[in-house]
Chains A and B, each alone.
Chain A
Amino acid sequence: MKFTEEHEWLRVEDDLVVVGITSHAAEQLGDVVFVELPEAGTTVSKDDEVVVIESVKAASDILAPVDGEIVEVNEALVDDPGKVNEDPEGDAWFFKLKIEDLSVLDELMDEAAYKKFVG
């Protein structure tokens, strides 16, 4: 698993990059009450705001961690946003990206580096 400074995790499954937010991020956000997902098929560039997530406290965005095409979104989160708090690094993935070159993930933090990053 790889991590970004925006507190997203990325994991490769069947050549697709699955993206979610870290347990640390979910805890900081508090209870998530609303998730707005992009359409599958959307082409995104790194740092595009692709998901809106609202907790009891505030709204925030999830950014595209790398360039690619969103090929699948986790619709279950729309009906049950609380999943983001229950299982942020498992079931509560947000979207799957098809990217040209998986090696761009090598530049991201590994788990040890991320742990150090959040202190």
Chain B
Amino acid sequence: MDELKRTPLYDLHLALGAKMVPFAGYDMPVQYKLGVMKEHLHTRAAAGLFDVSHMGQVILRGDDPKAVALALETLVPVSVAALAEGRQRYGLFTNDQGGIEDDLMIANRGDHLFLVVNAACKETDVARLRAGLEPKGVSIEYIEDRALLALQGPGAEAALAALNPAVAEMRFMDVATVELMGVEAWVSRSGYTGEDGYEISVPEGAAVALAEALLAQEAVDAIGLGARDSLRLEAGLCLYGHDIDTTTTPAAGNLLWAIQKVRRADGERAGGFPGADIILPEIASGAPSVRVGLKPEGRAPMREGIKLFENETGGAPVGRITSGGFGPTVGGPVAMGYVPSERATPGTRLYGEVRGKRLPVEVVTLPHVKQSYKR
């Protein structure tokens, strides 16, 4: 196995008493001294600081920003050309089979586009961008000298505004260049917990000072990947490689909201991305199985891989759980997974097989916990 990589905050994690685990090739904090449950609840009640420096940061540039946006549209079924300066949106890299290669954030930062992609996919994403966009005159800059921090929770605004009040003016999915602790930070008002908050890209040499300045505030605690996972699960957000992958289409993944009208059939810039011939017709016809929220009726968590059945006995599995566990804010088990589209109506009862026993689970509307973005 290759040596695990470290983020600029590695030593700080150790000093904070983190339990480190391998994640996407990095040695990352899964939890700190508080433990997953308290870290989760603290984020929803106050503010949590997450090290997400393992994620990939990429800049796309060209002579004409509009041409760069249109070039990126050949890889994602998203309207990039209509994304206003200072705004960000969620996107998907698709493949020729209509599956999802990765999910990402796309920000229009004026003279360039700034992308944040998943850690496990970043090398292939950069290769995909180079192969697809360089021939179109787009330069791809893979940024490896900046850290990425996420500050999430109802206390995030006050905590970051203490360092620069300008961030309080930002709204959900705004992006801005802001000075923090004397360095240039690329800030977006977004995150992956369902809470209000920010993602902050800073030069790696400034990351520890910024993290320490935030952690010095009463409201802010360091939060590990364990709580990040339960927070995003409660918020109904997909974990790439689990809830969506190369075999799930946007319709199956319940991600059609990410495909703007202009890229759909009859749209002004319809299609023109990998798998459009499969993805677009499926918007009308529907996918045979779809991602839904699932709420186990008992107390037993239903985790990834649990098979779902229509009845308490007999029959073949009709679906499966792709993410599941205990939701600290819900105070019980929560999950998401794939079920046949005719069984996807909220209120439908299915059975998850846990340790050989079929336990009832209800299809529910996502998110499990209401998102509280500052729109």
Q: Which residues of A contact B (CB under 8 A)?
A: 30-31, 33-34, 36, 52, 54, 56-57, 59, 78, 82, 85
Interface residues of B in 20-48 (CB under 8 A from A): 31, 35-38
Say whether B300 contacts A34, CB under 8 Å: yes
| Cα of A37 to Cα of B22 in the assembled complex, Å | 33
Nearest Cβ on chain B to A117's Cβ, whole angstroms: 21
Contact of B36 among A34, A56, A82 (CB under 8 A): A56
Say whether A30 contacts B300, CB under 8 Å: no
Across the interface, which residues of A come within 8 angstroms of B37, CB to CB?
30-31, 33, 56, 82
Contact of B301 among A34, A78, A85 (CB under 8 A): A34
Interface residues of B in 290-318 (CB under 8 A from A): 299-301, 303
Interface residue? B226 (CB, 8 A): yes
Q: Which residues of B contact A (CB under 8 A)?
A: 31, 35-38, 226, 230, 299-301, 303, 325-326, 328, 333, 355
Across the interface, which residues of A come within 8 angstroms of B326, CB to CB?
31, 33-34, 54, 56
| Cα of A31 to Cα of B226 in the assembled complex, Å | 11
| Cα of A85 to Cα of B31 in the assembled complex, Å | 16
Interface centre among B31, B230, B300 (most CB of A within 10 A): B300
Say whether B36 contacts A30, CB under 8 Å: yes
Nearest Cβ on chain A to B20's Cβ, whole angstroms: 14
Nearest Cβ on chain B to A25's Cβ, whole angstroms: 15
| Cα of A73 to Cα of B24 in the assembled complex, Å | 42
Closest 3 CB pairs of A and B: A31-B37, A33-B326, A56-B36
Say whether A56 contacts B230, CB under 8 Å: yes
Nearest Cβ on chain B to A59's Cβ, whole angstroms: 7
- What are 21 A-to-B residue pairs whose CB atoms are below 8 Å? A30-B31, A30-B35, A30-B226, A31-B38, A33-B333, A34-B301, A34-B333, A52-B355, A54-B300, A54-B326, A56-B35, A56-B36, A56-B37, A56-B230, A56-B326, A57-B36, A57-B226, A59-B301, A59-B355, A78-B299, A85-B35
Say whether A31 contacts B299, CB under 8 Å: no
| Cα of A34 to Cα of B230 in the assembled complex, Å | 16
Nearest Cβ on chain B to A69's Cβ, whole angstroms: 23
Across the interface, which residues of B come within 8 angstroms of A34, CB to CB?
299-301, 326, 333
Nearest A residue to B357 by beta-carbon distance? A36
Nearest A residue to B326 by beta-carbon distance? A33
| Cα of A54 to Cα of B301 in the assembled complex, Å | 8
Nearest A residue to B325 by beta-carbon distance? A56
| Cα of A82 to Cα of B326 in the assembled complex, Å | 12
Across the interface, which residues of A come within 8 angstroms of B325, CB to CB?
56
Nearest Cβ on chain A to B204's Cβ, whole angstroms: 30
| Cα of A57 to Cα of B355 in the assembled complex, Å | 17
| Cα of A30 to Cα of B227 in the assembled complex, Å | 12
Nearest Cβ on chain B to A28's Cβ, whole angstroms: 10
Across the interface, which residues of B come within 8 angstroms of A56, CB to CB?
35-37, 226, 230, 325-326, 328
Across the interface, which residues of B come within 8 angstroms of A54, CB to CB?
300-301, 326
